[in-house]
Amino acid sequence: MDWAGATGNQAPMIFHQAAGLWLLSTSIGRRLYGEAPWGVKLYPNLYLMLVAGTTFYRKSTAYKLAEQVARDAIPHMLMPTPGSPERFQEALAGRMPSNYDKLTKQQQERLTKAQPFAAQRGLLKDEVAGLFGAINKRDYMTGMKDLLMELYDCPDYFDKDTQTGLNIVENAALSILGVTTPAGLGSAVSHTDWANGLLIRFALLTPETNYAERPAPKVYNPAPQHLLDGLKALHNRLPGPEQTETGLKVPSALKLNVQCWGKCQEYGDELRRLCDPGRDTELDDRLKGVYGRMHVQAFKLASMFAALDWLDTSDDAPTVTGEHWIAGKAIAENWRLSAHRLLDKLDRSGEAIQEKRYQDRMLRAILNTGTNGIALRSLYRNLNFSAKQARQIAQDLVKAGLIEERRMNKAEWFIANEHAHES
Residue-wise pLDDT tens digits, 203-251: 999 999 999 999 999 999 999 999 999 999 999 999 999 888 777 889 9
Whether residues 338 and 262 share a domain: the answer is yes
CATH number of the domain at 393, please.
1.10.10
Assigned domain for 356 exists: no
Residues 311 and 414 in one domain: no
Backbone angles phi, psi at 51, to 5 degrees: -125, 120
Same domain, 378 and 346: no
- 52 contacts 63 by C-beta, under 8 angstroms: no
Q: How far apart are CA 111 and CA 329, in angstroms?
A: 36
Q: Which residues contact 40 (CB under 8 A, 6 or more apart)?
A: none
The answer to whether residue 361 is domain-embedded is no
Domain total of the chain: 2
Sign of CA dihedral 338, 20, 181, 204: negative
26 Cβ neighbours under 8 A, 6+ residues apart: 70, 74, 77, 78, 121, 122, 175
In angstroms, the CA 303 to CA 42 distance is 9
Residues 260 and 404 in one domain: no
pLDDT at 240: 94
Determine the Cα–Cα distance for residues 58 and 263; give it in Å rounded to an integer.
36
Cβ contact 205:339 at 8 Å: no
**Judgement on whether residues 372 and 402 belong to the same structural domain of the protein:** yes
Based on the domain organization, do 298 and 402 belong to the same domain? no
Which of 324, 350, 376 is the last residue in one of the domains? 350
Whether residue 297 is found in the same domain as residue 264: yes
For residue 281, the enclosing domain spans 2-350
The answer to the question of residue 20 being in a domain is yes
Same domain, 272 and 411: no
Q: What is the pLDDT of residue 160?
A: 82
Final residue before a domain boundary, out of 350, 385, 407: 350
Tally of CB atoms within 10 A around 332: 23
- The pLDDT value recorded for residue 276 is 92
Q: Read out DSSP for 327-377?
A: HHHHHHHHHHHHHHHHHHHHIIIIIHHHHHHHHHHHHHHHHTTGGG-EEHH
Q: What CATH number has the domain bearing residue 171?
A: 3.40.50
Q: 83 and 28 in one domain?
A: yes
Return the pLDDT at 351: 58
Helix axes 285-310, 322-346, angle to 10 degrees: 150
DSSP state for residue 215 in the 8-state scheme = P
Residue 358 placed within a domain: no
pLDDT for position 418:
80
Residues 110 and 202 in one domain: yes
Cβ–Cβ < 8 Å for 394, 376: yes
Could you say which of 304, 322, 350 is where a domain stops? 350
pLDDT in tens, the chain (423 residues): 999 999 999 999 999 999 999 999 999 999 999 999 999 999 999 999 999 988 899 999 999 999 999 999 999 999 988 777 888 888 999 999 889 999 999 999 999 999 999 999 999 988 787 777 666 666 656 678 888 889 999 999 988 887 778 888 999 999 999 998 887 787 777 777 787 788 899 999 999 999 999 999 999 999 999 999 999 999 999 999 988 877 788 999 999 999 999 999 999 999 999 999 888 888 988 899 999 999 999 999 999 999 999 999 999 999 999 999 999 999 999 999 999 999 988 877 655 567 777 888 899 999 999 888 999 999 999 998 888 888 988 988 887 778 888 888 888 899 998 887 665
Three-state DSSP state, 158: strand
Instruction: Kindly state whether residue 357 falls inside one of the protein's structural domains.
Output: no
Contact 45, 201 (CB under 8 A): no
* The pLDDT value given to residue 181: 86
Would the CA dihedral through 160, 148, 144, 288 be positive or negative? positive
Q: Rounded to whole angstroms, how far apart are CA atoms 356 and 370?
A: 22
Position 140 scores a pLDDT of: 59
CA-to-CA dists, residue 313 to 11, 30, 269, 286, 309, angstroms = 34, 21, 34, 42, 7
Q: Are 373 and 239 found together in one domain?
A: no
Q: Residue 359 falls within a domain, yes or no?
A: no
297 shares its domain with 410 = no
Compute the distance between CA of residue 282 and CA of residue 153 in angstroms, rounded to an integer. Answer: 28
pLDDT tens column, 42-61: 999 999 999 998 889 999 99
In a domain, 362, yes or no: no
Q: Is residue 283 in some structural domain?
A: yes
Task: For the beta carbon of residue 117, count every other beta carbon within 10 angstroms.
Answer: 26
Q: How many residues does the chain have?
A: 423
Biggest distance spanned by C-alpha atoms of the chain = 87
